[in-house]
Amino acid sequence: MPTDEQIKEIEDIITKAREVKDPASKEARDLYTKAIKLADEYFKIERPKEEIGEPEYDPVRNPPDGKNSGETSPTEKDGEGKAKTTLGPGAFVSDGKPSARWLAAVKVHEYAHAGVGVELRDPTDAEIKQMKEMGLKDDDIKKIKIPQFKTNDVNEEEVIAYDAMLKKAKDLGLSDSEIEWIKNQKKSFYNKMSDEKKKKYKAQEPWLGVRFSQPDFKAVVGPFIVPKGTPVFFDKDQSWNLPRCMRVDELANLRFEGDYQKLFSLNPGFSVEVAALQTLLFGPHGTSPVASTPNRLLLGSPVFLADGSLTRLPGEIETPCPGGTVLVRHAYSECESDGLWHVVEDDYVSCPPQGGVTKYRVFDMATTRACKDGAAPRPVDVAYKDLHGDSTCQSPKYIGDIIISECVDGLWENATYPLYECLDGTRRVSLPAKDRRRSDIPCSSAPSPGKVEP
Ligand SMILES: [Zn+2]
C-alpha cells in the first residue's frame, strides 16, 4: 500500500491536471500520464501480459461526460492477441474529487478486461463478405485477423472486471460507497447474463442500443450477411436452411415481402450475429460511443487491421474536439469508394484553446443508390426529413441551422434549414428553407458551405 505522502503526490498531480483548461492539451496529457504511471508504481498493480503498455490518457475516446472512464479493446501486435487500455478524465476522480485510489481501482478493472486473454482468429465468411461490402480489397482482407477477448461475452467480461475491483477494494482503500457502486455495476451486468433477461434484452434492443429510423434501418441492416445453412423461420413451425449466404435485404424481399419486422421477430438469432460483429469491430463495450450515437451507422465502422492500425472506410465519421463550438453544419450527397451515394455532414468546429476551425465528418449515411445510377439523392429526402407531420419525432428541440447543398440544374444551391433534434436523438429539418443561395460550383465538384467565420 502506498504511503499517505504518495497518495497526496498523485492527487496533487491530478488536481493540477484538472486545472488545465483544455483536457486534451499536452500539459493536461503529461500530468494525467504521470498520475497513471505513479498509480502502478505506488499501488504495485500488476499489468497483465496482454496489455501492450501503460494505459494511455485519451479524453476523446473516454470523454468527461461519457459513460466510460476507461476502455480496453482487443488488438493485434506482432501476430499476437493483445489489449490496449485508454483512460479518460473520469478515471481520476471519485465523487467529484481527485482520487489516487479510484484511479488504481479503474486500472485494476481495465487490466482485468485484458487479463481474460485475447485471441486472433480468421474472419468468418460472413465477415469477409461484409468487409468486401465495406470496400476493402481482397489482398487487405487476407491480412486481417480479428482480435477478440476469449470470453467473447461483454456482460461476462464486465462481471469479471468489476469482480477484480471488489477483490482489491480493501487493499486499495476504497470507501463503502465506492464499493457499493461497484457491487451494483457488477449486479447489473450479472443480471444481463441470465437467460430470461437476455431474452427480454434482445427483444427490447436487438441492435445493442443503436437506434435507426425506419428507412435508415433497412439501409443499415440490409447489407448484413446471413450465413449459408442458417435456419430461417417463416412462421413458428416452418423453417428453411439457407442454401447460400444471403444479404438481409435479399432474404427479406425473397421470403418476407420486404417486411423486416417480421423477419427479425421470427428470427431473433440474427440480431446476435450482428451484435457480435459490432462487438468485434468496435471493441468489447456495449456502451461504445458508436452504440450511443443514434445516427452512426454500423457499416461505416473502422476495422482492425493486422498491424493493429485502423483503416478509414466509406462511412467512417469523426468525433469533434471536446468543448468545441459548431460554427457551420454542412450536409450534401457524395459518391464514396463503395460505389454508393452517401449523405454526409461536415461540421466546422471552433476548437479550444486557440479557437482554430477544424472540419469534422460527423455524419455519413450510405444510400441504396449506386453512383452510376444517376444523380445525387437529396439529403432532405433521405436523411434530413421534414419535421412537420412526423409523429415519430417527439419533443423536437431546435439545435441551430444546417446548410444543405442541393443540386439544381447542374449547380449546387445552398439551402439553410432550422435543424431539430428529437427525443430519440434523431434529427429533422423544418421545411421550407429559410434561405437559398445559388453557387457557381457544378454538381460534379464538391460543394462548399460558403464562408465559415468564428
Ligand atoms: Zn469494463
Structure confidence by residue, pLDDT tens digits, 384-436 = 999 998 888 889 999 999 999 999 999 999 999 999 998 888 899 999 999 99
- The Cα–Cα gap between 59 and 75 comes to 20
- The Cα–Cα gap between 15 and 261 comes to 52
By the 8 A CB rule, do 418 and 434 touch? yes
C-alpha of 210 from chain center: 9
Does residue 269 register a pLDDT over 80? no
* Of the listed ranges 74-78, 245-249, 341-345, the one predicted with least confidence: 245-249
The one-letter amino acid at 275: A
Could you tell me the CA-to-CA distances from 340 to 226, 370, 382 in Å, in that order?
A: 22, 4, 14
Q: What spacing in Å lies between the alpha carbon of 57 and ligand 1's midpoint?
A: 16
- The Cα–Cα gap between 244 and 230 comes to 9
Q: What spacing in Å lies between the alpha carbon of 362 and ligand 1's midpoint?
A: 26
Q: What is the band of 219 on the pLDDT scale with cuts at 50, 70, 90?
A: low
Sheet holding 80-87, edge to edge: 56-57, 80-87, 70-77
End-to-end CA distance of the chain: 51
Q: What is the band of 361 on the pLDDT scale with cuts at 50, 70, 90?
A: confident
What integer is the mean pLDDT of 180-190?
82
Give the distance between the most distant pair of CA atoms in the chain.
74
- The Cα–Cα gap between 363 and 302 comes to 14
* pLDDT per residue as tens digits for the range 5-25: 999 999 999 999 999 988 889
- The backbone torsions φ and ψ at residue 266, rounded to the nearest 5 degrees and listed phi first, read -80, -20
Q: What spacing in Å lies between the alpha carbon of 106 and ligand 1's midpoint?
A: 9
Q: Residue 390 gets which letter from DSSP? A: -
* pLDDT per residue as tens digits for the range 129-143: 888 887 888 888 888
What integer is the mean pLDDT of 245-265?
79
Q: What spacing in Å lies between the alpha carbon of 197 and ligand 1's midpoint?
A: 20
pTM of structure = 0.45
Does residue 284 register a pLDDT over 70? no
CB atoms within 10 A of CB 87: 28
| Of the candidates 202, 217, 182, the residue with the CA atom closest to the CA atom of residue 273 | 202
The one-letter amino acid at 151: T
CB atoms within 10 A of CB 277: 20
Does residue 318 register a pLDDT over 90? no
pLDDT at 444: 85
Q: What spacing in Å lies between the alpha carbon of 72 and ligand 1's midpoint?
A: 7
By the 8 A CB rule, do 413 and 438 touch? yes
Q: What spacing in Å lies between the alpha carbon of 415 and ligand 1's midpoint?
A: 44
Q: Residue 92 gets which letter from DSSP? A: G
What integer is the mean pLDDT of 166-184?
88
pLDDT at 315: 61
Q: What is the band of 202 on the pLDDT scale with cuts at 50, 70, 90?
A: very low
By the 8 A CB rule, do 147 and 87 touch? no
Does residue 450 register a pLDDT over 80? yes
Does residue 298 register a pLDDT over 50? no
Q: What spacing in Å lies between the alpha carbon of 160 and ligand 1's midpoint?
A: 9
Mean pLDDT for the chain overall: 79
- The Cα–Cα gap between 130 and 124 comes to 10
- Torsion, Cα 49 121 160 92, to 10 degrees, reads 60
Q: Name residue, grid cell 451494483.
A: 184
The pairing of beta strand 93-94 with beta strand 97-98: antiparallel
Cβ contacts of 8 within 8 Å, gap of 6 or more: none
Residues with CB under 5 A from ligand 1 (ion): 161
| Of the candidates 450, 441, 383, 394, the residue with the CA atom closest to the CA atom of residue 422 | 394
Does residue 2 register a pLDDT over 50? yes
pLDDT at 268: 61
Share of the chain above pLDDT 70, in %: 81
Task: Looking at mean pLDDT, say which of 58-67, 101-110, 209-218 comes out highest.
Answer: 101-110
- The Cα–Cα gap between 193 and 199 comes to 10
* pLDDT per residue as tens digits for the range 72-111: 999 988 888 999 999 999 999 998 899 999 999 999 999 9
By the 8 A CB rule, do 37 and 56 touch? no
By the 8 A CB rule, do 414 and 408 touch? no
Q: What spacing in Å lies between the alpha carbon of 288 and ligand 1's midpoint?
A: 11
Rg of the chain (C-alpha set): 24
Q: What spacing in Å lies between the alpha carbon of 113 and ligand 1's midpoint?
A: 7
* pLDDT per residue as tens digits for the range 288-297: 333 333 322 3
Share of the chain above pLDDT 90, in %: 35
Could you tell me the CA-to-CA distances from 398 to 316, 402, 430 in Å, in that order?
A: 26, 11, 10
pLDDT at 60: 86
